Amino acid sequence: MHVTYTGERVRLRPFRDADELWAFASAQFITCSPYWGVDWHRAIKSRSRFQRSLEHPAAERFCIERLDTGESIGWVSAHVGEFQLAGSVGTEIAPEHWSRGFGREAKLLAICHLFENFAIESVYADTLATHQRARAGLHALGFRLAGLRRTAFFNRGSYIGRVLYQLLREDWEAMDYRHRIKRGA
C-alpha cells in the first residue's frame, strides 16, 4: 500500500529506491547521536528494510520530504504488529531539521496511514526515558504514557530506560488534524 500523505510542512512518500534510503541511513546513523549513540546496524539493515517494506503490506518506511524545499530529511516507519490489534510509529530526522515540527507532523501522517488502512485499535511509539523533547512531542500528539522498560538501551557507558506511549483509535478519531491532510496514490 504505497501512498503519499501531505500535511502543512512535510509529505510522506515511498522511498524511490533502496539507494535513496541508504543515503539517508548511512549519513544519519554513522554519526554519534546525543540520544542513540552510533547506530551502524540500522544503516546496514536499511536496504533489507526497504525490500521488506515492498513485500510486506503492513510495514511501510516512508520518506519525509519538506514541502518548502523538496528535500528528503528523514524517514518514518509505520508498522502493524502481526499478533495484536496495534501498530507502531517511529521517526528519524536529520539533526539539522530538528525542533521545527517536521517529526511531529510526520508521525501524525503515519498514524493516519495506520488507522485508515488497518483494523487496529491503537498505535504505539517509544523513545528513551532521557529524551525529553521526544517525550514532549509524543504527549503533544495525544499519546499517553503506557509503560517503562528499565535499562533497555545501552549508550555511552550507561543503561537507559525506554518509555512506551499509546494512542487509541477513539482518541485519533476525535482529533481534527486528520481532516486537513491530503492523500494521494
Distance, in Å, from the CA atom of 100 to the CA atom of 104, rounded to the nearest integer, reads 9
Mean pLDDT over all residues of the chain? 82
120-138 pLDDT, tens digit each:
999 999 998 888 999 999 9
Lookup: cell for 37: 549513540
pLDDT of res. 40: 47
Which residues neighbour 40 within 8 Å (Cβ) at sequence distance 6 or greater?
29, 30
Distance, in Å, from the CA atom of 60 to the CA atom of 1, rounded to the nearest integer, reads 8
pLDDT of res. 75: 85
Distance, in Å, from the CA atom of 114 to the CA atom of 28, rounded to the nearest integer, reads 25
pTM (2 d.p.): 0.81
pLDDT of res. 149: 85
DSSP labels, 18-67: HHHHHHHHHHHHSS-BTTTB--HHHHHTHHHHHHHHHH-TTEEEEEEEET
Distance, in Å, from the CA atom of 132 to the CA atom of 138, rounded to the nearest integer, reads 10
The answer on pLDDT for 184 being more than 70 is yes
For residue 50, give the nearest of 16, 93, 85, 84 by alpha carbon: 16
pLDDT of res. 93: 87
pLDDT of res. 101: 92
Q: Does domain 4-184 have CATH number 3.30.565.10?
A: no
25-52 pLDDT, tens digit each:
666 555 545 555 555 455 555 555 555 5
The answer on pLDDT for 169 being more than 70 is yes
Distance, in Å, from the CA atom of 46 to the CA atom of 41, rounded to the nearest integer, reads 9
94-115 pLDDT, tens digit each:
888 988 999 999 999 999 999 9
Question: Which pairs count as long-range contacts for 127-133, CB under 8 Å and 24+ apart, including other chains?
Answer: 127/162, 127/163, 127/165, 128/35, 128/36, 128/153, 128/155, 128/160, 128/161, 128/162, 128/163, 129/160, 129/161, 129/162, 129/163, 130/35, 130/160, 131/35, 133/98, 133/99
Is 147 in a helix, a strand, or coil? strand
pLDDT of res. 141: 94
